[in-house]
Chains A and B, each alone.
Chain A
Amino acid sequence: MSTLTIDHVSRWFGNVVAVNDITMTIGPGVTGLLGPNGAGKSTLINMMGGFLAPSTGSVTLDGRPTWRNEEIYQHIGIVPEREAMYDFLTGREFVVANAELHGLGDRAAHRALATVEMEYAQDRKISTYSKGMRQRVKMASALVHDPSLLLLDEPFNGMDPRQRMQLMDLLRRMGDEGRTVLFSSHILEEVEQLASHIEVIVAGRHAASGDFRRIRRLMTDRPHRYLVRSSDDRVLAAALIADPSTSGIEVDLQEGALHIQAIDFPRFTALLPRVAREHGIRLLTVSPSDESLESVFSYLVAA
């Protein structure tokens, strides 16, 4: 059982702040590190894994620092995001080399390859592997020494649904065995399927922390903005504002469109087509105007 403690950690590159005063504790079980691209997830994971010095603050695993401490890797398994991994070796050679570097032998390597179900392709060169196969061999290399902390940077990137499910099962199992598993992702659905605990990072800041229900609520309860064009904008606006699911409507004459702010998302999405039909209005455009991940996450910062 291991606990990773991130204590008031910041990291800047020149005058760009990548991670801004983050404090969190990662305990046993599966934790998802959620945030949009560029939020600082990789920077934070690199600091957790001891590959980057915090500018201020400290990262410790059970009280021992991860930076400049090679011994700590007896307890940490790392699955990097980058693809490169000695492509000129076979999968088996690669995992055996990783085992040897831990002072272990073929047995450990074989066990790790079995865990990720890669025995069938272990004698092929890594350069011939698909993305999912690479990911599993990376996984095997990280598991070879039976670590208590597993760090994975965007492990589901580029995986097909079946590979994704397999890896999720594996990580869930790792968490159930009492390991501390932390993975990063920019996709909420991924995180909520797998993680019992979620840490959200936006623009380098720790935006939210908790179980997925809480995070989900924070993300869906936010006001939604829509851009709607119809055959009669004013009549439509009048009918919509009468309903409590909307909180504001702007008639944009220049654009020839309505900017609608909805506060009850499910109710509004049912209301809009019904109102249009009742009033004989044709809907020409209905588009969410702030569905980008950035704006979704920005609500969490405020929350």
Chain B
Amino acid sequence: MYDPTVARLTYRGLLGRRRALILGALPVLLIVISVAVRGFTGADDQVAADVLGGFALATMVPIIGVIAGTGAIGPEIDDGSVVYLLAKPVKRPTIIFTKLIVAVAVTMAFSAVPTFLAGMILNGNGQQIAVAYTVAALVASIAYAALFLLLGTITRHAVVFGLVYALVWEALFGTLVSGAKTLSVQQWSLAVGHKVSGDLVTSDVSLATGTVLLVVVTVAATWFAGQKLRTLTLAGEE
């Protein structure tokens, strides 16, 4: 199910180009904000939860997910180099699964790790807030990577759609419209985070609902992406 060569090509593609800079920008911003907030207001649990919930989980994690998830396959399909993977006796679902693993790992590295660091800076993991949001970022990374990897296989405009989902749906509707909250990766992962920390991390869905939906979305998106790749049509240049 996992092909080390596909993995190597994927992470070198992801981290080699300008994308690595973009991936690094948001975590750096989060750390800078955390240092500034800590410097101005001192250690405050509520402020820490607001920063991690409002910026790290609501904005940074989905955007990193979009960049890593779509970037794990989108550019190869776009420029046609994916043909070198497809013209091999390697099962297409294996290619997708491997790319998912890489996308998850990259999303985790660039979102969960800085989230934890920011939490430590903000209030030294008081009330387990740093750990809770890190756990939430970890599980969200998996679902986002799967979702945006699928998006990368079905549309050339995956980044645009991904950002619209991340910013408009998750960040805007997800916080304003209660119905949208049930269908939000952010809320599902917060449900998991709530389990760790308690009342400073809140979610609109129950742990059971959140977990089931996270698993269903991840598995379904990955399966569908594998099927999609099996029938991927490479447009000729004529």
Q: Are B87 and A76 in contact (CB under 8 A)?
A: yes
B86 adjacent to chain A (CB < 8 Å): yes
Partner of A88, one of B3, B12, B84: B12
Within 8 A of B (CB), among A41-74: 41-43, 46, 49-53, 68, 70-74
Closest to B87 in A: A78
Contact A86-B81, Cβ < 8 Å, known A43-B238, A70-B90: yes
Chain B, residues 54-90, CB within 8 Å of chain A (1/0): the string is 0000000000000000000000000111011111111
**A155 CB to nearest chain B CB (Å):** 14
Chain A residues whose C-beta falls within 8 Å of the C-beta of B91 in the assembled complex: 70
Partner of B237, one of A42, A52, A76, A77: A42
Q: Which of A1-9, A97-105, A232-240 contacts B (4 or more CB under 8 A)?
A: A97-105
Partner of A101, one of B85, B237, B238: B85
Contact A86-B9, Cβ < 8 Å, known A43-B236, A70-B88, A73-B89: yes
Closest to A37 in B: B238
Q: Are A85 and B87 in contact (CB under 8 A)?
A: no
B156 adjacent to chain A (CB < 8 Å): no
Chain B residues whose C-beta falls within 8 Å of the C-beta of A40 in the assembled complex: 238
A141 adjacent to chain B (CB < 8 Å): yes
Contact A71-B233, Cβ < 8 Å, known A51-B83, A100-B5: no
Partner of B89, one of A43, A81, A102: A102
Q: Are A88 and B238 in contact (CB under 8 A)?
A: no
A-B contact count (CB 8 A): 87
Q: How many residues of B contact A (CB 8 A)?
A: 31
**A43 CB to nearest chain B CB (Å):** 5
Q: Are A88 and B83 in contact (CB under 8 A)?
A: no
Partner of B231, one of A46, A53, A101: A53
A288 adjacent to chain B (CB < 8 Å): no
Q: Are B17 and A88 in contact (CB under 8 A)?
A: yes
Contact A52-B87, Cβ < 8 Å, known A41-B238, A82-B79, A84-B79: no
Q: Are A68 and B230 in contact (CB under 8 A)?
A: yes
**A74 CB to nearest chain B CB (Å):** 5
Closest to A154 in B: B237
Q: Are A53 and B233 in contact (CB under 8 A)?
A: yes
Closest to B230 in A: A68
Chain A, residues 181-195, CB within 8 Å of chain B (1/0): the string is 000000000000000
**A289 CB to nearest chain B CB (Å):** 26
Closest to B15 in A: A88
**A25 CB to nearest chain B CB (Å):** 22
A91 adjacent to chain B (CB < 8 Å): no
Partner of A51, one of B79, B81, B89, B234: B234
Chain B residues whose C-beta falls within 8 Å of the C-beta of A28 in the assembled complex: none
Chain B, residues 1-32, CB within 8 Å of chain A (1/0): the string is 00111101100110011000000000000000
Q: How distant is the Cα of A85 from the Cα of B85 in the complex, in angstroms? A: 10
Chain A residues whose C-beta falls within 8 Å of the C-beta of B194 in the assembled complex: none
Partner of B84, one of A37, A71, A76, A85: A85
Q: Are B236 and A46 in contact (CB under 8 A)?
A: yes
Q: How distant is the Cα of A88 from the Cα of B75 in the complex, in angstroms? A: 13
Q: Are A52 and B234 in contact (CB under 8 A)?
A: yes
Chain A, residues 164-196, CB within 8 Å of chain B (1/0): the string is 000000000000000000000000000000000
Chain B residues whose C-beta falls within 8 Å of the C-beta of A84 in the assembled complex: 79-81
Q: Are A38 and B230 in contact (CB under 8 A)?
A: no
Q: Are B80 and A141 in contact (CB under 8 A)?
A: no
Q: Are A74 and B16 in contact (CB under 8 A)?
A: no
Q: Are A68 and B231 in contact (CB under 8 A)?
A: yes
B92 adjacent to chain A (CB < 8 Å): yes
Within 8 A of B (CB), among A94-120: 97-98, 100-103
- B interface residues (Cβ-Cβ under 8 A, vs A): 3-6, 8-9, 12-13, 16-17, 79-81, 83-92, 230-234, 236-238
Q: Which 4 A-B pairs have the closest CB atoms?
A: A42-B236, A84-B79, A82-B80, A101-B88
